């Protein structure tokens, strides 16, 4: 490192640790601070990623400034012009404010000021938005949620140019625009503002942010603690079917921080909505940290906010796409702007985890503030370490006792099993207890469908949730888990689902050659207990690991059980016969079955049923223990879908009829590859000769995996006692097995 660089860093570090005494009118103070701006300006031109981020923002803002300010009368849903225009306005204004501070060029301040006054002029007479679809209509947008987005960003823009404005101008903006705006989305819409939901987080944070700029303690308190007497009825629901008010529930920002996050940082709605909610959580927490450090919002609940960033990054595949748990649009990834915020803040205000720098490098942009500078300096100074994702078990629920999500990973994400045994996940939850999905690096092998919505694509229902989200995506049969008697878990009833969660039996990722997650669900079907154990096993003689899946069902009644595998890619071969119908008819009338066509129906020909397929140039075989009476069904999505809202995806469904207790055991084996360029097939066939249940009781289930080269592995799971210290002994076919802990592999 050159001397000059060392000196600069020293100055920077000194500047960073000089304590700041904040005064009410020391602006900016929320995200950018006076001291932060000073440090940034001293480093301009010396930190490549920060400089390029400034340049990118400058280009964007300059183009918008050249086009002039437009604040049209609101008329559209998302995807329409007025919606997209107002959305762009707040994004650009926030950036223009930051550029004003960083570049000290008045034109940016003037641009923000002029835009704010255009809004000020229109807001006082603005009626509620004309589009009727939301349970909480905004004024600039069709829902208060988007109005809150606007306020959260505009508060930052306002803060950046606060000192540039005259006292008179500020008074005018406060009285005619910001205070009424904050009141409208809060006391004007308590059904939106005063609940536990990502919508409310945005509302709370927005009100809090403008309160901090205006130094308005009433708004700050309303943000932190909600509205005391909201006049809402208990049991009220929103348009997604989510509860608005539950008895005794606290509201406001802190309650929203307390409630949906588990102590591990898992957000109960899932990573897609966590990504969306992270922005207001982090931004307002940071503003509080800067303006009201004594509130220690970052330390709240053992520092859950920064833990949440780590949890979120771990809930992504090898290419950074979030696992689509619950309602989630596929393709959302840690490249989204809110994750730039999350990564930069977690690095700077957390413990400077140098692994975060590798994510920031991929994002190739940083925030225009102290955190962004800090990340860019870390990268410049070559501190970057690879972000090492490993197997992880994340509890769900406020106290971490409402089930969870486990991710079993092998190698450099060659395989990742996402196993869900969580709580309902609020109104965005799916009825899919004990479901899983499987990834091979960035590719989905066994998929979770995601949501039925084309977010912000106006041609599709205004970009909002489509009805097939309810009739298909949330239903149990849409997921890789058990559906009993063609009825969704909890009867697909949100009220019932919300009362329950699955229970972890055990999670063990301590060994390299085997990692296991095991969980139970007792309430999805009253009288039936489901217990699923999933393991990644790497036998020595296999190039890639195997995924063993054991679903143990105990029921007081006899039922039909369906277990689908939503495989991606191309069917290659089966070892069973099936008939393909000449016309396609629906597989049922309700609970999602009405959206499936039956494409093939067969019976097992041997005890180890095999299904071989190709995904993105990689071969896989599913081997399953089957009964002669099992039905093997090829299903195709797309029935009752007149608007073409659903993808034409496929599943292989294992159906077992008229049984009470039963056991589904299967093994997924990745075993080769194909290139359309070389046209070479490598290892295209399974190396498994048989999969056998060699023992099954209430206490233990033992599975033998036999390979073509005559090797055999035995996996035994203890179904009852999961204590790590417990010693077990079991005799199977005259062989003695003894081990300690909840499972055994040899």
Q: What is the CA radius of gyration of the chain?
A: 28
Measured CA to CA, the distance from residue 350 to residue 348 in angstroms comes to 6
Selected catalytic residue, list 111, 123, 273, 349: 273
CA–CA distance, 655 with 609 (Å, rounded to integer)? 13
Contacts with its own copies by CB under 8 A: the residue count is: 57
Residue number, 548 or 688, with CB nearest to its own copies: 688
Side-chain half-sphere exposure of 545, counting CA atoms within 13 A: 26
Strands (E), 381-478: 392-395, 404-410, 415-421, 435-440, 443-446
Rounded distance, CA 210 to CA 154, Å?
A: 8
**Residue of 681, 726, 738, 740 interacting with its own copies (CB under 8 A):** 681
Among 233, 679, 709, 733, binds its own copies (CB under 8 A): 679
Q: How far is residue 182's CA from residue 413's CA, in Å, rounded to a whole number?
A: 45
Q: Which stretch binds its own copies (CB under 8 A): 5-13, 293-301, 406-414, 640-648?
A: 640-648
Q: How far is the CB of 678 from its own copies (least distance, A)?
A: 7
- Residue selected from 302, 541, 678, 710 as contacting its own copies according to rule CB under 8 A: 678
Is 566 part of the annotated catalytic residue set?
no
- The helix (H) or strand (E) run that includes residue 565 is strand 559-565
What distance in Å separates the CA atoms of residue 287 and residue 213, rounded to the nearest whole number? Answer: 10
The residue within the footprint of its own copies, chosen from 235, 293, 331, 386 (CB under 8 A), is 331
Interacting residue with its own copies among 246, 543, 680, 724 (CB under 8 A): 680
User: Contact 464/637 with Cβ under 8 angstroms?
Assistant: no
Query: Edge to edge, what strands does the sheet with 415-421 contain?
Result: 392-395, 404-410, 415-421, 435-440, 443-446
Residue 337 interacts with its own copies (CB under 8 A): yes or no: yes
Between CA 200 and CA 222 the distance in angstroms is 12
Q: Which one of residues 303, 458, 588, 607 is an interface residue with its own copies (CB under 8 A)? A: 458
Rounded Cα gap, residues 140 and 125, in angstroms:
12
Collapsing DSSP to helix, strand or coil, 688 comes out as strand
Which is closer to its own copies, CB of 101 or CB of 437?
437
44, 457, 543, 708: residue in contact with its own copies (rule CB under 8 A): 457
Q: With residue 121 as reference, give the H or E element that holds it.
A: helix 106-123
Strand order in the sheet with 631-637: 483-484, 559-565, 650-659, 631-637, 596-603, 577-579
Please report whether residue 336 would count as binding its own copies according to CB under 8 A.
yes
Region binding its own copies by CB under 8 A among candidate stretches 277-285, 348-356, 535-543, 582-590: 582-590
Residue 196: how many CA atoms within 13 Å on its side-chain side? 22
Q: Which residues of 252-290 are buried (b: 16+ CB within 10 A; e: fewer)?
A: bbbbbbbbbbbbbbbbbbbbbbbbbbbbbbbbbbbbbbb
If the CB atoms of residues 231 and 676 are measured against its own copies, the closer one turns out to be 676
477, 596 contact by CB (below 8 A): yes
Should residue 580 be labelled a site residue for its own copies when binding is judged by CB under 8 A?
Answer: yes
- 479 catalytic residue (yes or no): no
| Interface region with its own copies, contact rule CB under 8 A, candidates 172-180, 201-209, 396-404, 454-462 | 454-462
* Closer to its own copies by Cβ: residue 310 or 612: 612
Say how far residue 121 (Cα) sits from the centre of its chain: 39
**Position 575 contacts its own copies (CB under 8 A):** no
Q: Using the rule CB under 8 A, is 366 a contact of its own copies?
A: no
Our CB check for its own copies shows the closer of 261 and 619 to be 619
Site string for its own copies, 655-674 (x = CB under 8 A): -------------------x
Nearer to its own copies, 79 or 592 (CB): 79
Residue 553 tokens, joined = 């069902």
Q: Choosing from 86, 199, 428, 531, which is the catalytic residue? A: 428
Question: Which residue from 170, 301, 636, 728 is in contact with its own copies, where contact means CB under 8 A?
Answer: 636
Binding span for its own copies by CB under 8 A among 46-54, 281-289, 430-438, 453-461: 453-461
CB of 280 to its own copies, least distance (A): 16
Near its own copies by CB under 8 A, which window of 208-216, 384-392, 552-560, 578-586?
Answer: 578-586
Query: In the range 65-124, which residues lie near its own copies by CB under 8 A?
Result: 79, 84
CA distance 330 to 336: 13
- Closer residue to its own copies (CB): 561 or 613: 613
Segment interacting with its own copies, rule: CB under 8 A, options 497-505, 552-560, 574-582, 703-711: 574-582
Q: Note the residues at the interface with its own copies (CB under 8 A).
A: 79, 84, 329-333, 335-337, 454-460, 463, 570-573, 578-580, 582-586, 597, 599-600, 612, 614, 634, 636, 638-644, 647-648, 650, 674-681, 684-685
Active site residues: 273, 428
């Amino acid at each position: 490192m050159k001397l000059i660089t060392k000196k600069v860093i020293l100055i920077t570090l000194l500047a960073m640790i000089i304590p700041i005494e904040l005064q009410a009118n020391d602006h900016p103070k929320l995200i950018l601070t006076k001291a932060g701006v000073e440090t940034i300006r001293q480093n301009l031109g010396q930190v490549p990623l920060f400089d390029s981020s400034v340049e990118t923002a400058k280009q964007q803002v300059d183009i918008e400034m050249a086009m002039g300010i437009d604040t049209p009368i609101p008329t559209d849903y998302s995807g329409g012009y007025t919606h997209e225009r107002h959305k762009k306005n707040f994004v650009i204004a926030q950036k223009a404010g930051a550029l004003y501070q960083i570049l000290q060029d008045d034109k940016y301040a003037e641009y923000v000021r002029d835009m704010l006054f255009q809004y000020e002029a229109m807001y006082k007479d603005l009626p509620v938005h004309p589009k009727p679809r939301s349970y909480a209509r905004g004024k600039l947008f069709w829902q208060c949620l988007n109005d809150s987005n606007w306020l959260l960003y505009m508060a930052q823009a306002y803060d950046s140019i606060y000192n540039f404005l005259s006292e008179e101008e500020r008074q005018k903006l406060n009285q005619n625009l910001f205070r009424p705006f904050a009141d409208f989305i809060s006391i004007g819409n308590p059904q939106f503002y005063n609940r536990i939901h990502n919508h409310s987080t945005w509302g709370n944070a927005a009100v809090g942010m403008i309160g901090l700029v205006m130094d308005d303690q009433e708004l700050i308190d309303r943000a932190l603690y909600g509205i005391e007497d909201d006049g809402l009825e208990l049991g009220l629901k929103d348009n997604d079917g989510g509860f608005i008010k539950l008895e005794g529930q606290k509201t406001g920002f802190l309650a929203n921080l307390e409630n949906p996050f588990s102590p591990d940082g898992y957000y109960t709605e899932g990573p897609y909505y966590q990504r969306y909610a992270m922005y207001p959580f982090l931004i307002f927490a940071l503003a509080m940290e800067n303006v009201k450090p004594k509130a220690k919002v970052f330390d709240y609940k053992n520092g859950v906010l920064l833990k949440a960033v780590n949890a979120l990054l771990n809930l992504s595949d090898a290419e950074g796409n979030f696992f689509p748990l619950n309602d989630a649009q596929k393709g959302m990834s840690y490249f989204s702007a809110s994750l730039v915020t999350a990564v930069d803040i977690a690095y700077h205000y957390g413990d400077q985890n140098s692994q975060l720098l590798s994510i920031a490098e991929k994002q190739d942009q940083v925030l225009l503030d102290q955190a962004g500078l800090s990340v860019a300096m870390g990268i410049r100074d070559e501190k970057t370490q690879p972000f090492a994702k490993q197997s992880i078990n994340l509890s769900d629920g406020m106290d971490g006792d409402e089930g969870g999500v486990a991710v079993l990973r092998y190698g450099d994400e060659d395989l990742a099993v996402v196993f869900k045994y969580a709580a309902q996940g609020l109104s965005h939850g799916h009825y899919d207890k004990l479901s899983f999905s499987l990834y091979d690096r960035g590719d989905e092998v066994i998929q979770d469908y995601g949501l039925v919505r084309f977010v912000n694509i106006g041609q599709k229902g205004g970009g909002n949730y489509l009805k097939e989200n309810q009739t298909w995506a949330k239903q149990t049969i849409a997921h890789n888990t058990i559906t009993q008697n063609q009825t969704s878990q909890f009867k697909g009833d949100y009220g019932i689902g919300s009362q329950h969660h699955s229970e972890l039996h055990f999670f063990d990722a301590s060994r390299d050659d085997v990692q296991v997650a095991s969980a139970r669900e007792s309430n999805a079907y009253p009288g039936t207990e489901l217990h699923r154990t999933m393991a990644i096993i790497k036998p020595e003689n296999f190039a890639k690991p195997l995924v063993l899946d054991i679903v143990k069902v105990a029921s007081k009644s006899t039922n039909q059980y369906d277990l689908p595998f939503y495989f991606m890619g191309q069917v290659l071969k089966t070892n069973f016969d099936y008939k393909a119908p000449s016309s396609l008819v629906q597989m049922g009338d309700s609970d999602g079955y009405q959206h499936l066509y039956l494409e093939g129906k067969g019976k097992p020909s041997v005890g180890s049923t095999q299904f071989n397929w190709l995904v993105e140039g990689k071969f896989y075989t599913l081997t399953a223990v089957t009964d002669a009476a099992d039905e093997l069904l090829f299903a195709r999505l797309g029935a009752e879908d007149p608007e073409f809202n659903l993808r034409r995806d496929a599943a292989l469904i294992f159906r077992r009829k008229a049984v009470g207790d039963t056991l589904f055991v299967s093994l997924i084996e990745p075993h080769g590859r194909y290139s359309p360029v070389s046209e070479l097939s490598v290892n295209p066939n399974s190396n498994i000769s048989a999969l056998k249940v060699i023992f099954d009781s209430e206490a233990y289930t033992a599975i033998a995996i036999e390979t073509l080269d005559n090797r055999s592995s035995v996996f035994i799971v203890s179904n009852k006692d999961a204590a790590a210290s417990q010693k077990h002994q079991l005799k199977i076919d005259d062989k003695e097995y003894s081990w300690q802990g909840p499972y055994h592999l040899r």
